[in-house]
Chain A
Amino acid sequence: GQQVMQIPQYQHVQEGEDFTTYCNSSTTLSNIQWYKQRPGGHPVFLIQLVKSGEVKKQKRLTFQFGEAKKNSSLHITATQTTDVGTYFCAGPSSNTGKLIFGQGTTLQVKP
């Protein structure tokens, strides 16, 4: 079946370093969504990308949707301790339209 995979599973960085998580789908996606879950919290929607090759920025976060609409990335510049959490990508199933989540990348930031 359709799968959405994320790497790495975990990432530890020093505060101020950059961070990138990658998302790959086994099929072409109509859109890709990104969520952030703080420790002990619930996932919160960050952004949705729709167009091939689309790049969107939110302050220090840069989101990219691949040309083939099968992969995406989230890049954080100069991480801060407030960036700690798990970042999930999600894309709609080509059969049902329901979102399929990646396993998430957990980011730890050392002050």
Chain B
Amino acid sequence: SQTIHQWPATLVQPVGSPLSLECTVEGTSNPNLYWYRQAAGRGLQLLFYSVGIGQISSEVPQNLSASRPQDRQFILSSKKLLLSDSGFYLCAWARLTNEKLFFGSGTQLSVL
């Protein structure tokens, strides 16, 4: 069966520090991968998605970047965090575009 792992679960970082969140998927190949951000009590904002190794599409201009160095690995990064980067970050995968999403357990990021 397929599983998705996302870590860390919580992270507190000072403003201006770098960020690296990692997500891996097991039990499937060539998944579509997604990074979402959820502000407290709000909906899901799509940040990046990838349909293959090295292929990244950005949905909104921001202080973050994403990379997909391996088929089932998706990384969210920042060189210098801003206060506004705080939020709940969710990785997700799907077999195909517009099919159901399977979400990781999320990372609660607090930038202080």
Q: Which residues of A contact B (CB under 8 A)?
A: 30-31, 33, 35, 41-45, 48, 88, 90, 92, 96-99, 101-104, 106
Q: B residues within 8 A CB of A41? A: 105-106
Q: Which residues of B contact A (CB under 8 A)?
A: 41-44, 46, 49, 90, 97-98, 100-106
Q: B residues within 8 A CB of A96? A: 97
Chain A's closest residue to B32 (CB) is A98
Chain B's closest residue to A92 (CB) is B98
Find B90's partner among A43, A48, A98, A103 (CB 8 Å cutoff): A43
- Given contacts A42-B104, A42-B106, A43-B90, whether A101 and B43 have CB atoms under 8 Å apart is yes
Chain B's closest residue to A102 (CB) is B43
- Given contacts A96-B97, A97-B97, whether A42 and B42 have CB atoms under 8 Å apart is no
Q: B residues within 8 A CB of A48? A: 100
- Subset of 15 A-B contacts with CB under 8 Å: A33-B101, A35-B101, A42-B103, A42-B105, A43-B101, A43-B103, A45-B100, A45-B102, A48-B100, A88-B43, A88-B44, A96-B97, A97-B97, A104-B43, A104-B44
